[in-house]
């Protein structure tokens, strides 16, 4: 199991409680670390808070730099900038396609690696490890090298292809982690009770590995919608949400960007919280 899988598998259950530190020094050190943890969390949230706050700023035009007063106007005029809206729609479509394609391909790889021992599995794992740890700029540059050499027109589909490429390994790793903890005897029981292999997969195996498939697919969606570096190389004339924002840094970021960022953040938080909550209920 590698680190990603372990992170996906969550903390170990039933870990024995640690002894409470009895001495004063240890108590203060625990306190200090606690405060430190919260300071780091505050540091992480600082730019997010600024982003959310300035989505409510009653600013004139695109120069959204100083606080002018509270307004909800930008939520009403969210889609007033048509090319920004196009970019957001592109990003969502690409992320959705990536989620579906990488979700299926990654699940199949995860099943193969988690369930079967076969010649070549080491090579597959090596390629996936390389794809996960490879610098994004190298992947972007090499993809562009190939597309240019073969005169492939750049645009929407080259972005989808690239996104599936870099996210499929993450899905596979997540699904494999789930496959390895599933109890195989349940499948054997299904076979003993006369289920065909397809029925066993559809009615027993897939529901059991579904949390892994879902987590992997959501990860693919998140990786895709956030990607800037690789997309920048292979996008041609197509503009995605991160590309649009990056292009707008020189002329000023309109408050609509803050609002869209806030809404994406809110949806993400909602899914994450529901997932954590649902996971806890499922676990007990």
Partner 1 sequence: MKGSRLRAALTPYLLILPGGLWLAIFFVVPMIVMLSLSLQSGNIVDGFAFTWNWRNYLDGIANHHDQMIRSIGYGLAATVITIVVGFPVAYWIAFRGGRRKNMYLLLLLMPFLVSFVLRTISWQFFLADDGVLLGPLKRIGLLPEDFHILATGTAVVLGLAYNFLPFMVLPIYVALERIDPRILEAAADLYANRVQTFLRVVLPLSLPGVFAGVLMTFVPACSDYVNASILGGASNTMIGNVIQNQYLVTQDYPVAAALSFTLMAVLLIGIFAYARALGSEEVLEVTAR
Q: How far is the CB of 258 from partner 1 (least distance, A)?
A: 8
Between CA 148 and CA 142 the distance in angstroms is 10
The C-alpha angle 22, 28, 30, rounded to 5 degrees, equals 80
CB neighbour list of residue 272: distance below 8 Å, 6 or more residues apart: none
What single string gives the DSSP state of each residue in 85-130? HHHHHHHHHHHHHHHHHHHHHHHHHHHHHHH---TTHHHHHHHHHH
Select the residue interacting with partner 1 from 24, 60, 69, 133 (CB under 8 A): 133
Of residues 30 and 207, the one with the C-beta less far from partner 1: 30
Do 180 and 1 meet the contact criterion of CB atoms below 8 Å apart? yes
Tally the residues of the chain: 284
Do 211 and 279 meet the contact criterion of CB atoms below 8 Å apart? yes
Contacts with partner 1 by CB under 8 A: the residue count is: 98
Of residues 75 and 233, the one with the C-beta less far from partner 1: 233
Select the residue interacting with partner 1 from 28, 37, 83, 196 (CB under 8 A): 37
Q: Which residue has the tokens 């740890």?
A: 133
Q: How far is the CB of 183 from partner 1 (least distance, A)?
A: 20
Residue 86 binds partner 1, judged by CB under 8 A: no
Residues 146-205 that bind partner 1 (CB under 8 A): 146, 148-149, 161-162, 164-165, 168-169, 172
Q: How far is the CB of 168 from partner 1 (least distance, A)?
A: 5
Between CA 105 and CA 152 the distance in angstroms is 23
Binding mask 42-81 for partner 1 (x = CB under 8 A): -xxxxxx-xx--x----------xx---------------
Select the residue interacting with partner 1 from 27, 63, 79, 265 (CB under 8 A): 265
Residue 280 binds partner 1, judged by CB under 8 A: yes
Between CA 204 and CA 282 the distance in angstroms is 17
Binding mask 6-35 for partner 1 (x = CB under 8 A): xx--xxx--xxxxx------x---x--xx-
Residues 93-132 that bind partner 1 (CB under 8 A): 104-106, 108-109, 111-113, 115-116, 118, 120-121, 124-131
């Amino acid at each position: 199991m590698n680190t990603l899988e372990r992170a996906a598998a969550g903390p170990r259950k039933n870990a024995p409680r640690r002894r409470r530190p009895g001495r004063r020094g240890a108590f203060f050190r625990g306190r200090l670390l606690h405060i430190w943890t919260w300071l780091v969390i505050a540091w992480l949230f600082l730019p997010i808070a600024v982003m959310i706050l300035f989505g409510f700023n009653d600013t004139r035009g695109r120069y959204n730099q100083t606080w002018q007063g509270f307004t909800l106007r930008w939520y009403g005029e969210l889609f007033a900038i048509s090319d920004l809206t196009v970019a957001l729609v592109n990003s969502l479509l690409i992320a959705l396609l990536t989620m579906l394609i990488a979700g299926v391909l990654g699940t199949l790889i995860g099943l193969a690696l988690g369930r079967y021992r076969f010649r070549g599995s080491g090579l597959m794992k090596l390629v996936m490890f390389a794809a996960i740890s490879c610098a994004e700029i190298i992947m972007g540059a090499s993809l562009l090298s190939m597309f240019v050499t073969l005169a492939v027109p750049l645009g929407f589909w080259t972005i989808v292809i690239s996104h599936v490429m870099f996210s499929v390994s993450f899905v596979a790793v997540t699904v494999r982690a789930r496959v390895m903890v599933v109890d195989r005897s349940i499948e054997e029981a299904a076979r003993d009770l006369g289920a065909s292999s397809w029925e066993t997969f559809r009615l027993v195996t897939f529901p059991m590995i579904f949390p892994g498939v879902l987590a992997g697919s959501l990860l693919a969606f998140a990786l895709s919608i956030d990607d800037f570096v690789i997309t920048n190389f292979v996008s041609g004339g197509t503009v995605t949400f991160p590309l649009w924002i990056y292009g707008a840094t020189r002329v000023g970021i309109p408050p609509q960007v803050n609002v869209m960022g806030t809404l994406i953040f809110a949806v993400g938080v909602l899914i994450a919280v529901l997932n954590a909550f649902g996971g806890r209920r499922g676990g007990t």
